[in-house]
Amino acid sequence: MDESRNSQNLQLEIENLREELHNQVQTNSELLVYKQQLDAILNNAPVEVYLKDREGRYLRINKQFEKIFGVKNEDLVGLLPTDVHDPELGASTRNHDLFVLNSGIVEEREESARLVSDNQLHTLLTIKFPVFNDDGEVDGLGAIVTDITERKQMEETIRRAQKMDAVGQLTGGIAHDFNNILGIVLGNLELMKRLLSNDEKAIAHLEAAYKGASRGKELTRKLLGFSRTAGGLAKIVSLNEFIGGMEDLIRKSLTVSIDTKMLLEKDLWKVEIDPGDLEDAILNLSLNALDSMPAGGEITIKTANKIIDKNYFESDSPTKSGEFVMFSVCDNGQGMTAEVRKKAMEPFFTTKEASKGTGLGLSMVYGFVKRSGGHIKIYSEAGEGTEIRIYLPRAHEEGKSGKEIPLEADLPRGHETILIVDDEKALVDIAVLYLQDLGYKTVTANNSEQALEVLKGNTAIDLLFTDVIMPGGSDGYDLALTARGLYPSVKVLITSGFTKKHDELVNDKSKYYSRLASNLLNKPYDNADLAKAVRRALDEVVKS
């Protein structure tokens, strides 16, 4: 009886052992699967991951960590950060570890590290978290490290772009008043030259004053070239033909100590741009290259077709992809430091003496490129020369062509009646004198409301000549549209220093607005500018 009972107990124990063994095998099998899954996750993660014990010594690293720091897992286990990294990074990492181990809280930190993968400094975002044991005590830590270098570069690029946009908006805000002031000065100087035509001394002083004010006008034009968001009259252009046509001008603008080479790709695609902007850009880049080679050197102008994908420019702001035409100006001059490269296209930044540069040349080029939907990149090292590459979108359809005004020995004249609308009385007085000298009859108003009253009482007005920005509820474009509705036969000429609305309306779906904006007379204008613009507006055949 006892033997039978013992045999049953033994059998029961064997069954229990078998079940425990089965459970153990199943648990080990599940653990193996979990380990394989964890290994797969860790070693295929695009970020660096590591685990450390309670002393802050490495327990394990993943494949990405091995790749960027050039170490193996088996060689790292048991070591501290100070045993592995350079002194600065090692000490920083160790202090970060101790903070997490002692506080038991999650902590993130940005660090700079030179990576073995490319031997370049990278910005790393490290998120460290404590690992707890069954008793709730900190038993170690884990970390996820992400390379955020490209993101930081993108943020910096966007900040620079926002800064330049802000400068452009500020420029647009002050340009209207500044151009009005210049217009008053230049106009009165021109009128005084007529009155004092027999006084040679007075004329000499007036010429000097006029020359100085004209420099102010040119500086304003350059600054507005940077701040504009839309171009003028765009045309389909062959860069090779355009550059070829400028070759003599470029060579004459340089010195005999500068050799110029043209490397122009055959079968170059065409682009749609404002030719005046392009000419300014080429001359600015060529003259900048000249300034970087005071002892002489070589300038090479290149063109090529390029297909750009969204990753073409690593640090550029969101990049348009597609087909582009590249042209570059390359020199073997002094080159730029990294700090100069960052600021080179900012308005008024210059490395030249105060009397030798305004700092507006490259900012004008930047404005032209962005208006044209293109990209600009500077490749330069101190002492190694500079290459500035501009990428312009390929043109696939015919663009708009500007109507050229023939040069005439005598200014065009007329006998029509012109309504001048401007809130600057001094500018109105100058326009009246200019136009009356040309044979026109003039009527004036200070704002849109007065102008409409004048139009209602004088049906003989042939041309409405109006400023854009005026006090009251409507601007020059609103006045033009209202006047057109009331008096369809009245022609309109718009004038302004700078307005954002002009940029928006140049390509407006409304042909009327687009035509007004495209034919706008820029302030400050002289007698010849006004005479030609007025005659063109009066002679224009308007199709309904």
Q: Which residues contact 144 (CB under 8 A, 6 or more apart)?
A: 47, 48, 49, 126, 127
The whole-angstrom distance between residue 488's C-alpha and the CA centroid of its chain comes to: 42
Q: What does the alpha-carbon distance between residue 301 and residue 263 come to, in Å, rounded to a whole number?
A: 6
Neighbours of 446 (CB within 10 A): 18
Q: Tell me the β-bridge partners of 264.
A: 303
* Cβ(50)–Cβ(61) below 8 Å: yes
State the first-to-last Cα distance of the chain, in angstroms, to the nearest integer.
122
SS3 state of residue 365: helix
In this predicted structure, what is the pLDDT of residue 170? 55
Structure tokens at 122: 């990278």
In this predicted structure, what is the pLDDT of residue 221? 61
Task: Count how many Cα atoms sit within 13 Å of the Cα of residue 333 in the half-sphere of its side chain.
Answer: 27
Q: What does the alpha-carbon distance between residue 13 and residue 209 come to, in Å, rounded to a whole number?
A: 115
In this predicted structure, what is the pLDDT of residue 130? 93
In this predicted structure, what is the pLDDT of residue 406? 36
Q: Would you give per-residue pLDDT tens digits along the chain (544 residues)?
A: 566 666 676 677 777 777 776 667 666 666 666 667 767 777 777 788 889 999 999 998 888 888 878 888 888 889 998 888 888 888 888 999 999 999 998 988 888 777 766 777 888 888 999 999 888 889 899 998 888 887 777 776 666 665 656 555 555 556 666 777 788 888 888 888 888 878 888 888 888 888 887 777 766 665 555 455 454 567 888 999 888 888 877 777 777 788 888 888 888 999 988 887 788 788 888 888 888 888 888 888 889 888 776 545 544 444 567 889 988 888 888 888 887 877 777 665 566 554 455 545 677 777 778 878 888 888 887 887 888 888 899 987 544 444 343 333 478 899 999 999 998 888 888 899 989 989 999 999 988 999 999 988 887 899 999 988 777 767 888 898 898 888 888 999 998 765 455 555 545 555 677 777 777 887 777 788 899 999 999 988 665 4
pTM of the model: 0.42
Neighbours of 427 (CB within 10 A): 22
Neighbours of 468 (CB within 10 A): 25
SS3 state of residue 298: strand
Amino acid letter at 261?
K
Q: In Å, how far are 56, 61, 115, 519 from 39, measured between CA atoms?
A: 21, 10, 24, 69
Q: What does the alpha-carbon distance between residue 314 and residue 52 come to, in Å, rounded to a whole number?
A: 34
DSSP secondary structure string for all residues of 95-155: HHHHHHHHH-S-EEEEEEEE-TTTS-EEEEEEEEEEEE-TTS-EEEEEEEEEE-HHHHHHH
The dihedral built from the CA positions of residue 494, 498, 502 and 506, taken in this order, carries a sign that is: positive
In this predicted structure, what is the pLDDT of residue 399? 42
Structure tokens at 292: 């970087």
SS3 state of residue 394: strand
Q: What does the alpha-carbon distance between residue 329 and residue 345 come to, in Å, rounded to a whole number?
A: 15
Q: Which residues contact 466 (CB under 8 A, 6 or more apart)?
A: 419, 420, 421, 422, 451, 476, 479, 480, 492, 493, 494, 495
Structure tokens at 81: 């950060």
- Cα-Cα-Cα-Cα dihedral of 505, 511, 517, 520, to 10°? 180
Q: What does the alpha-carbon distance between residue 60 and residue 263 come to, in Å, rounded to a whole number?
A: 55
Residue 367: which of 238, 272, 239, 281 has the closest Cα?
281
Q: What does the alpha-carbon distance between residue 203 and residue 219 come to, in Å, rounded to a whole number?
A: 24
Structure tokens at 200: 């040679």
Structure tokens at 174: 């002050």
* Cβ(386)–Cβ(340) below 8 Å: no
The whole-angstrom distance between residue 284's C-alpha and the CA centroid of its chain comes to: 18
